[in-house]
Chains A and B, each alone.
Chain A
Amino acid sequence: MSLVSSERAFILDLNKCTGCQACQVACGIENELPPGESWRWIDSFNKDHIADVPLYHLSLACNHCADPPCMNHCPALAIHKDPITGAVTIDEKTCIGCKYCTWACPYDAARFDSDARVVKKCTLCSHRLSEGLDPACVTQCPTGALRLGERGESIAEPSVAGFPETEADPAIRFIPLRENSQGPEVAGGSCEVPLEKSPEIASRPPRFSLRSEWPLLVFTLQTALLAAIMGAPAARDVINPFAFLIAGGVGAGLSTLHLGKKHRAWRAIANWRGSWLSREIILYSCFLLSSAVHLLVDPAGRESGLLASLFGFATLFAMDRVYYVTRTPGLRLHSAQVLLTGALFCSLLIGPAPLFTGLILLKTLLYSLRKIRFARSGRPVRPLLTLARVAFGFLLPVIIIQRPTGALLIIGGACLLLAELIDRAEFYLELEILSPRAEIAKILRRKVL
């Protein structure tokens, strides 16, 4: 019996797993991946040997969740769950390579393949299951630590420290360390251990890098600006329609830059029922379209202008929602939310000083609170950037807004923009995509601090 139904799961016995990585190698060979690559990996808990903390290993791949976040959030509907085997698989011919599933997966299982330009992951060795064989990782585990078994096994736990707990109902269970195997009493080692701030844990590289995803930064900020302009009647009356629309078009183009398969970009709207990414794209298209109608066909119409600005702010709302899948704490009220950015610029353009000042205060407060939290938990604060962000985004605009004349307004706007750029860049740098690796680091950081 090797089919995985909804009743079956990977069972990992932490007492038996030595982190030998045979499963990892077996996966690569079975799936004919280039030597050295694999869809399975080991995340080790306490590789640095912190005293009185046991070291154990999590052999991980896709957990073929009952309610897979990757599938639910895939904008292109490229991920499917097999009703018989339970295997969650990515259709390489439909995947647009947007990597959104790599943000949505809390287990680090989906990875972008930079050669194939699509996301790939464990298939549960579906080709072997159909022959009545276990997945290669299970067959090849030299200690019998990894197997397929029943979800309901009495000794197996649904989670273990370092494995994220989510609502996805992953098909994996852990047999925890026995009472007599909780790590050794060490005699003859060192008691005086100098503390180090961030314990290093071996794992896969981070899933997000600003260097490769900078178009998203530009696109989101620009959309906030465009929405703000459309939302301020005075501004939308003076804006050059062509400049506005070209900027919007370039933004759309930029946002497809990070796609693995640009020619399939149109698929991104397929999952409008379930994915905020699809919704964002649809709303953005409506925003551009309605803006075009207003600017080119009906420049005097208040209704068409209002409609366009509504679509603009709806886009910003959707845009912020897109990032919720990462499960980064504090995202629901974040100083770099584009909805706030749009509102801020809009209020600057419309002119009510109390609203503007209020928004600036709110953003600065959120920003400062976050930095304080970071400083307390030992995460990087970047003091110079912080100083610049607060100076440009709070002090200067507040001074300038006292005398809102043309030139000062432009200087104030430029300062604000710079501050927003810093904030948004940090937003991307600090995205914490939930993963076993991040979870392990968090727990161990607490142990040594």
Chain B
Amino acid sequence: MPKEEPLLRVRRLARIFGSGCSKCTSCTGPLTGTNICSYCHSIVACAGVSFDLYAGEILGVVGESGSGKSTLVQCLYFDSPATAGEAYFKAYKDGQANMLACSVQEKRYIRHHLMGMVYQNPQQGLKLDFTAGGNIAEKLLAAGIYHVGQIRRRAAELLQCTEVPLERMDHLPRFFSGGMQQRVQIAKALANNPPLVFLDEVTTGLDVSVQARVLDLIKKLQRKLGLTMIVISHDLGVIRLLTNRVLVMKSGRVVETGLTDQILEDPQHPYTQLLVSSML
């Protein structure tokens, strides 16, 4: 097989809320079944997370609430500072520098130019009192496009792509349905053709029919644009539909990784077996 460098290499990523101590990682995790350090009472949201992600791949991260899957993505998108660990991103300094250790300005650059994020809650990803077009414009402006005509053309293109009616472009997403808010978020995330997109529980809380439409859209865009994505979900159905590979997380640790069909058909870890057997 021709060897190619991963787009993203994450090594021993950890995020600890609280003072932290030397025993934090040893007394938490799936074996003890807790996130809380019994010595210093810090919360170990995730620890020791390592993985490689290749261009064009869709990696799923699955686990129950509190397993640390969202924290993982928040650290990689700089919403939350990682406590320890390294991440090398091919699109940033050719993957030679640990992006978790770079300056705030550089992090902002990476976020705006090289990454896209779709949050579970549109309020987090959208400014609801900016118009739909304005929300997309924010990304484009952050990337230095100061031409209203160009911005509107690109915004229209993206909204069309994400199946948002063009006449809604100058309306406030505050008055949109949940599904449409999510589609605007996706359009915004894709505004600068980022090499890496994060999807954090994007369909949770939507009606099933709307959920299906959003998922189909993501799948369609992924194929069309060759997106590389990390998909966070507690829903194995979403994971099955979207991803090629999966990390299974529990109590802040990765307990199992594998091909998506393998994880679903032949889970190895006791927790994964429980998770799969709990599928509806």
Q: Do A and B bind each other?
A: no
Q: Which residues of A contact B (CB under 8 A)?
A: none
